[in-house]
Amino acid sequence: MDYYLFLDFDGVLSPQRHRHELLAQGLPIKDELGPFFDPEAIGHLRTIIEATNAHIIVSSTWKCKGLQTLQRLWEARGMPGMVIGVTPTVSSGYLFNRGMEINQWLAWNAPASPAESRFAILDDGQDFLPEQRAFLVNTNPVEGLSKEDAERVVAILLA
């Protein structure tokens, strides 16, 4: 069984609280690779990866940095898991752009049989398709990925 985690950065791994803390200390919130992540959120992501060994697909707008840059970011920050892809950019006037991008990635990359894979979406946004709601864990953008959020992602993937 393959497990896929579609991951947003801002509001999930880089919550507003953490960015404000960095700025208050006179520290940068990002570098050339991308954002600096909240250690607490990283710990919760580690819980998800250890429980499921999920492959990470970046659905964040940070995907515009490109897959290789994001993989270097992952390695440089000592992040759990492995980034294996980014969602394609779907240009449309619809509300559900991120949801359509995830559907497109799944159509191109996931096994044809639903029995061979499961996915979860971890995001602070709302632009998802109605049929994706059961696989979505919405984080609080101020606090980011919580222990409870991580537990819900694990439950979705291992259901």
Q: Which CATH number covers residue 31?
A: 3.40.50
The stretch 45-61 carries a mean pLDDT of: 97
Spatial neighbors of 155 by CB under 8 A, at least 6 apart, are none
The stretch 8-37 carries a mean pLDDT of: 95
Q: What is the pLDDT of residue 89?
A: 87
Q: What is the pLDDT of residue 156?
A: 97
Q: What is the pLDDT of residue 94?
A: 60
Spatial neighbors of 103 by CB under 8 A, at least 6 apart, are 129, 132
- Place 93 in a pLDDT band, splitting at 50, 70 and 90: low
**Dihedral over alpha carbons 126, 87, 12, 83 (to 10 degrees):** 160
Q: State how far the alpha carbon of 147 is from the alpha carbons of 5, 43, 75, 94, 153, in Å.
A: 16, 9, 23, 32, 10
Distance of alpha carbon 131 from alpha carbon 80, whole angstroms: 28
Q: Is 4 helix (H, G, I), strand (E, B) or coil?
A: strand
**Which range of residues forms the domain containing residue 13?**
2-158
Q: Find where tokens 């006179």 sit.
A: 26
Beta-strand relationship, 117-123 and 83-86: unpaired
Classify residue 110 by burial, with Cβ atoms within 10 Å: 0-12, 13-18, 19+.
middle
Residue-wise pLDDT tens digits, 27-38: 999 998 889 999
Q: Find where tokens 């953490």 sit.
A: 18
What's the domain count of the chain? 1
Contact yes or no for 139/152 (Cβ under 8 A): no
Q: What is the pLDDT of residue 60?
A: 93
